[in-house]
Amino acid sequence: MLNESTTIAAISTAKGVGGIGVVRVSGKRALEIAKNICKADLSPRKVEFTSFKDKKNVTLDQGIVIYFPSPSSFTGEDIVEFQGHGGVMVLNLILNACLSFGAILAEPGEFTKRAFLNNKLDLSQAESVADLINASTEAAAKSAINSLRGVFSNKINNLLKNLTELRIFVEACLDFPEEDINFIDQGKVDKKLINLEKNVSEILNAARHGQLLRDGLKVALIGQPNVGKSSLLNQLAKESKAIVTEIPGTTRDPIKSDISIQGIPIHLTDTAGLRETGDIVEKLGIEKTWESIKEADITLIIVDVTDNNFDYENKLKKELPKDNEIIIIRNKIDLLKQQSRVDEQNNVTEIFISAKKGNGIKLVEKEIIKIAQREEYSSNKEDLFMARTRHIEALEKVKSALTKALLNLQSPELVAEELMIAQKFLSKITGEFSSDDLLGQIFGQFCIGK
């Protein structure tokens, strides 16, 4: 149990006006503070309707108060929640009353941090609280709740259990060399390492899918001026986000739109047309276009199907980052009275559309999702969990350590070293091995009051 002498308080509902607002207090003095504000006896987990008063006994609001005693609370400490009317001024008055009676203002994520430090949640579960709050799609929300329930943690803990058992055997072989133990055969070390590596690969694939659901895919729309980039953005967003005119170079600053396709967040960016120009403002827009390209997972190169400027296309493809997925969008097929279709040319997908008429938009969406659902992102939908970049980096290091252990089976000392490294990185995921700096970075991203 965390020994915290301070009692923290914060408004836990979003800023703005609403029917109900919540002020949360956690710590040793939470019940004392609540009794001073409510002037009533409070029973554990029992709803009480009461008036909220300040130090001068002035009524601030009326609402309900609930007391959750330690350790059966979210933070593992005594918690009191004041639920009043959701006005900004009213909630601030209640919060100020809590502070005047001895609480201090909570830092961002401090309630969840205390839950972690009091062993109510492990680190990956704590992170999923923020992910659930910020989920932008139904699939992301379901994945976050699975992580909060411990789906991801259970997988990691099972890996840790098997890894620890193998480490114990290997260390025993090092401690008692005179026993002449057949290191590989008797311990079935090779088979166990292969199974561990396989399990890590499966979890890594699921984690990549979880990261995709959390962060989404960044898609940049690029091409020459007046080829239909803005029209395509508007079609994909299903609203007029970008100005569409016959005048080339209308788009100067990147225009962003967040959409969802089959539960996956997609972050679209319409960019300034790429061409040689003497216009200083347009040049700045083109610089921002290249910044968007560098950040993108997928680049849609939009071209005018009537132009056939293949030199421009080929030059542009060579200049794009190598890890960037490319889709060629051949727009304005309505001018040639063609049907929308998908072609594969030299391992590059080409989609023929009319952004103006809306023909072929579904084909574009389908191809984006096809990239998102490749093998490295595949996972059982019922078993999805939310994951972050740090989880994936840790799992990749675990997999690398296990691979090195397999390559050095004739040396128990090297196997033991790699297993220790693998265990260290697995433990970082759930927080068993975490630096204060890492905790500060993670919980600092939370909102105040959570």
pLDDT 10s digits, 13-63: 988 888 999 999 999 999 999 999 998 889 999 999 999 999 999 999 999
**Same domain (yes/no): 93, 201:** no
Amino acid, single-letter form, for residue 325: E
Distance between CA atoms of residues 398 and 132, nearest Å? 27
Per residue in 106-128, pLDDT (tens digit) is 998 899 999 999 999 988 888 88
**Same domain (yes/no): 244, 364:** yes
Query: What kind and span of H or E run contains 438?
Result: helix 436-443
Average pLDDT over residues 232-244: 76
Q: Is residue 179 part of a domain?
A: yes
What does the longest C-alpha to C-alpha distance in the chain come to? 85
Which residue, 74, 95, 121, sits at the end of a domain? Answer: 121
**Same domain (yes/no): 354, 421:** no
When divided into structural domains, the chain yields a total of 3
Percent of the chain whose pLDDT exceeds 70: 85
Domain that holds residue 196: 133-213+388-431
Reported confidence tier of residue 1, pLDDT bands at 50, 70, 90: very low
Peptide bond into 44 cis (omega under 30): no
Dihedrals φ, ψ of 84, to 5°?
-120, -160
| Residue at token pair 């203002």 | 105
**Same domain (yes/no): 269, 308:** yes
Q: What is the CA radius of gyration of the chain?
A: 28
Reported confidence tier of residue 335, pLDDT bands at 50, 70, 90: very high
Reported confidence tier of residue 436, pLDDT bands at 50, 70, 90: low
**Same domain (yes/no): 16, 103:** yes
Higher per-residue confidence, 300 vs 276: 300
Distance between CA atoms of residues 33 and 97, nearest Å? 9
**Same domain (yes/no): 154, 180:** yes
Reported confidence tier of residue 351, pLDDT bands at 50, 70, 90: very high
Whole-angstrom CA distances from 154 to 118, 253, 294, 309, 422 are 19, 45, 36, 54, 17
Per residue in 250-297, pLDDT (tens digit) is 555 678 888 888 888 898 888 876 666 555 665 677 777 778 878 888
Distance between CA atoms of residues 221 and 228, nearest Å? 10
* Residue-level pLDDT at 181: 54
Going by C-alpha positions, the residue among 75, 86, 88 that lies closest to residue 9 is: 75
**Same domain (yes/no): 223, 371:** yes
Q: How many CB atoms lie within 10 A of CB 97?
A: 24
Where residue 425 sits, what CATH number does that domain have? 1.20.120.430
Lowest mean pLDDT among 95-99, 108-112, 315-319: 315-319
Amino acid, single-letter form, for residue 72: S
**Same domain (yes/no): 224, 204:** no
Q: Is residue 243 part of a domain?
A: yes
**Sheet holding 264-270: strands in order across?**
255-261, 264-270, 217-222, 298-304, 325-331, 348-352, 341-345
Q: What is the DSSP letter of 44?
A: B
Query: What kind and span of H or E run contains 425?
Result: helix 412-430
Q: Is residue 437 part of a domain?
A: no
Q: Is residue 445 part of a domain?
A: no
**Same domain (yes/no): 257, 393:** no
Ordered alpha helix ranges (H), 216-303: 229-237, 280-295
Reported confidence tier of residue 201, pLDDT bands at 50, 70, 90: very high
- Give the burial string for 123-141 (b: 16+ CB within 10 Å, else e): bbbbbbbbbbeebbbebbb
Question: Which residues, at least 6 apart from 318, have a Cβ–Cβ distance to it below 8 Å?
Answer: none
Ordered alpha helix ranges (H), 101-150: 110-117, 123-134, 138-149
**Same domain (yes/no): 160, 97:** no
How much is the pTM? 0.69
Distance between CA atoms of residues 36 and 181, nearest Å? 69
**Same domain (yes/no): 247, 366:** yes
Q: Is residue 317 part of a domain?
A: yes
**Same domain (yes/no): 18, 86:** yes
Ordered alpha helix ranges (H), 176-303: 183-187, 189-215, 229-237, 280-295
Q: Over 70: is that where the pLDDT of 442 sits?
A: no
